[in-house]
Every structure is written in structure tokens, then in C-alpha cells.
Structure 1
């Protein structure tokens, strides 16, 4: 059993329960490799400007060290926050719907009834493929209700795509 096969704790955020933790739900967690993917993107997004600010500070004016320090503080905060954000992502398959939850401070629980799904999409960019993860996106009639499960191993993403598609077709056929 790998770490992403373990169920998500009932609530990884300070033991709070309520509308985000329906009783009797065994949450599945995403792969911890999603943390690495997000940190690489953050490192490139903030690391390159930090290096540019440092170069300008050395070559032109030392006041630019303030900008480099500010960006470095944001990067440090993000490095501490991202692993916790990834641990807060979970999904659960029920008989009639799929639950997806995420967030630490601003929590979100998305319930997608199988009968409302139009199609299920699996995506993996170059970094995702290198790290062995994929993203499953569920599309519904309303664009604002599309749900995403990032950081799944490709085998699990494929299994989930096929299972959700079959369940969605079965629910639509029953209407």
C-alpha cells in the first residue's frame, strides 16, 4: 500500500468537523508527488525574479534587496503551506455522486452527481508526466461546477475516469 492509497484523515485541519466531513466517508488522498510539482512551479515563478532582483541589487542599487527579500519571504511561506494544502485534498466515491474537498483556510466541498457529468478528462503536462501524476477533470453542464482532482497516479486517474464515465452513463440511462 502506498501513501496515496491511505484514506485522508477525517479532517487534517485542526480537527474541525461539519459540512466538509460527511459521516461515514473514507476519503482517498492524492499523491504526495503533487507537492513536488507545485513546489517546482513556485520555485520557477518566484526563484527567477529573486535572482533577477539580486543581480540588479548587486549591479545597480542595493535597495532592490528589499524586493528580493520580500519575494524570498513569500517563497518560504509557500514552501511551508503547499504540503499542507496537498494533504487537504481528498475525494470519495459514493453510490450516487463524487465528493471532492480541498482547502485549509477557505475550505471547499464539491459534490458532483454522476448523472450530471457530461465527460471526464484526464490531463498531464510535461512536469506531471515526469513526476508520474495526472489530473482528472469532471465536466458538467454548468462550467462553474467543473471539478478537478489533481495529483493522481496515472493508473488511478485512468481507473477513476473509466469508473466515473460508466457510472455517469448508468445514471443517465436510468432517467
Structure 2
């Protein structure tokens, strides 16, 4: 055995340190994003349960307890997802560094995406009808990699516009030498 194999690592890195932005804090998204996701949840789950239970009640041979069980399960799922939405929204964050943008998200499965400015091809800002009504947008970064999914939801329009302009400018600066 040589000395390199016996040598202990100089420092050990914890999993939490891997997801910490170097030299700063994460910029968090607006808590209004949780409200938007919760409204979407209430509409989609509410309509789904209403249609399924209403349809089952119209069938004469279906016991009445089945729609009630479905409604109860949906209510439990609704409460659970409501709580998870709040935690998930607080997990979103981004940090700008000199050469790249870091985006983090996730509760159970943490995710860190690092997008070099020179690899960005397009910066997209979107907002659906509900998000526009609540005053939030999503900034999406597109790169040459098909699997790249760097998006930052829940930004106010002024922050999104500033971030879009900064990222586009940095992307042009970095790709100018190619």
C-alpha cells in the first residue's frame, strides 16, 4: 500500500454542505408561489373528487360508502399535499456566482443545478393566468443539454426581469469568446 491510499482525506464534506451556496445565502422565491400551488391543488383535486364521487352516486348499484371513502381519502391527501407544498416552496432558491447560476430545490430528494453562463442559450420568463393574477413569474434557463431543467418559479415580475437581463448579459459575455 502506498501513502496515498493510507492518507485520510484532508476534510470531509457533509451532504448539507454540498447544497450550500459558496460564499453566500440562497435567494428564496416568493411565498405567493405556495398560494398558487395550493389554489391549483384545490381546483384539480376538488374537481376530480366531485366528478368521481358524483359519477359513482349516479350509478344505482354502487354502495354509498364508496364515494364517501374516496372523499375521505382525497381529504387526507389534500391536507398532506397542502403541508408539503409549503415546505417545497421554501426549498426553492438560487445564487448567482461569477461564472454560473446555482438553483436548488427539493425536500426529500434535494437537487442542485449549476448552469454556466456561457452554456445558456435562452432565458425564458413565463406566467400562466393564475400566476399573473398573483403577481409571480417563472424564469427558465435553456442550455444545449436536453436534460437541463434550471427553472426558478415564484419570482416577482421586477426580480424576474432583472434576473433575466443579468443572465442574458452574462451569457452573451461568456459566449462571445466561442
State if a TM-score over 0.5 links the two structures: yes
Find the counterpart in structure 2 of residue 139 from structure 1: 142
* Structure 1 gaps, min length 5: 1-15
TM-score, structure 1 as length reference: 0.85
Tell me which residue corresponds to 1:67: 70
Conserved 8 A contact 1:54-1:68: yes
Structure 2 gaps of 5+ residues are 1-14
Larger radius of gyration between Structure 1 and Structure 2: 2
List, as ranges, runs of 4+ consecutive aligned residues in structure 1 with deviation greater than 2 Å: 49-61
Counterparts of 1:72 and 1:46, CA distance in 2: 9
The 2-side partners of 1:145 and 1:41 are apart by 26
Shift of residue 104, structure 1, vs aligned partner: 0.5
Separation in 1 of the partners of 2:56 and 2:175?
Answer: 62
| 1:40 aligned onto 2:68 | no
Tell me how far 1:112 sits from its aligned partner: 0.2
Cα pair 2:91 2:105 within 8 Å, conserved = yes
Alignment root-mean-square deviation, CA? 1.6
Mapping 1:82-121, distance limit 5 Å:
82-121=85-124
Q: Is the 8 A contact 1:122 1:134 kept in 2?
A: yes
Which residue of 2 is the match for residue 28 of structure 1?
A: 27
Q: Which residue of 1 aligns with 2:128?
A: 125
Measure the CA separation in 2 of the matches of 1:123 and 1:163: 17
